[in-house]
Amino acid sequence: MFLASCVQRNDYPYGNNGNNGNNGNYYNHTTDTSYQNVFDEEFNGGDHYAWSFTDPTDSAYASISNGSYVYVDYSTVQSNMTVVNTGANTQGNFTVQTRIKSNNIMGLVFGASSSDNGYAFYIDTAGNYSLYKEGTGTSASTTIIPSTQDSLYAVKDNWNVLEIDQVGGNWTGYINGTQVFQMAARTISGSNFGFKVLPATVGYADYLVVKSN
C-alpha cells in the first residue's frame, strides 16, 4: 500500500535559483546535520565514476557532455541502466535527488547492488510517474506504483526534479518539491544509484546527489 498525496515544500528552490552545488538546481538538506555522507555528481568535467559506455548491440550509449549526463537508447526492446557506488548507507535514513528530462521515459535508480538492480522512480514526457522494483538477470521488474498522472506538478517535455527520501522506515517521493507518494520502505541491498532509460529514449541528467547517515 502507498499513500499518494500532493504536499508542496515551500523551501524547495528548483530551476536555477538554488545556491547549492555547481549547477545550483537542487534543494539541499543543509539543516539536517545527521547526513554525514554526501555523494555529489554534477556532471561538470571528467567522468570519474565510469558513467560513460557504448553498447552497439543494444544501440545504446552514454556520456558526460556540456554539464549533463546524456543517455541514449535507440533500441526498440532493450532498456538500459547505469549505476555507480555512492557509498551511501541505505540501511538508515537517506535522501537522493536528481534533475532529469527525456523524450520518452527515464528513471532514477536507487538501492542497487552487484546482485540486485534496486528500484526505479520513473517519469515520462506527459508528467506521469511510477515506481518499480527492478528485476535481475533472472527476474522481471515488478510494479510498486503504476503509472500515475501528476500533470499539476510535473513539467511535460522538460526538466523535472525527482527525489526519494527514506526516513523513519518510510519512502517519500517528490516531483519538483511536491510530495506525490509515501509508503513503507522496502528492503534495499546496496548503495548503487543512477539512471535507467526505456527503449527509444534519449535522456539527460543534470546532477545526482545522495546523502546518508
| Entry pTM | 0.87
Q: What residue numbers bound the domain in which 68 lies?
A: 37-166+186-212
Residue 27 within a domain: no
- 207, 26 Cβ separation under 8 angstroms: yes
Number of domains in the chain: 1
Q: Bridge-partner residues for 70, per DSSP?
A: 63, 204
In the structure grid, which three cell numbers stand for residue 200, read together? 527509444
Residue 17 within a domain: no
Residue 89 within a domain: yes
**Residue 111: its pLDDT value, please?**
98
Q: CB-based contacts of 166: which residues, under 8 Å, 6+ apart?
A: 90, 92, 93, 94, 95, 185, 188
Residue 3 within a domain: no
Residue 21 within a domain: no
**Residue 55: its pLDDT value, please?**
93
Residue 150 within a domain: yes
In this prediction, the residues of the chain whose per-residue pLDDT falls under 50 are 1-22, 24, 28-31
**Residue 33: its pLDDT value, please?**
57
Residue 174 within a domain: no
pLDDT in tens, 107-142: 999 999 999 999 999 999 999 999 999 988 678 899
**Residue 9: its pLDDT value, please?**
44
**Residue 32: its pLDDT value, please?**
57
Residue 145 within a domain: yes
CATH code at position 84: 2.60.120.560
**Residue 7: its pLDDT value, please?**
45
pLDDT in tens, 143-161: 999 999 877 889 999 999 9
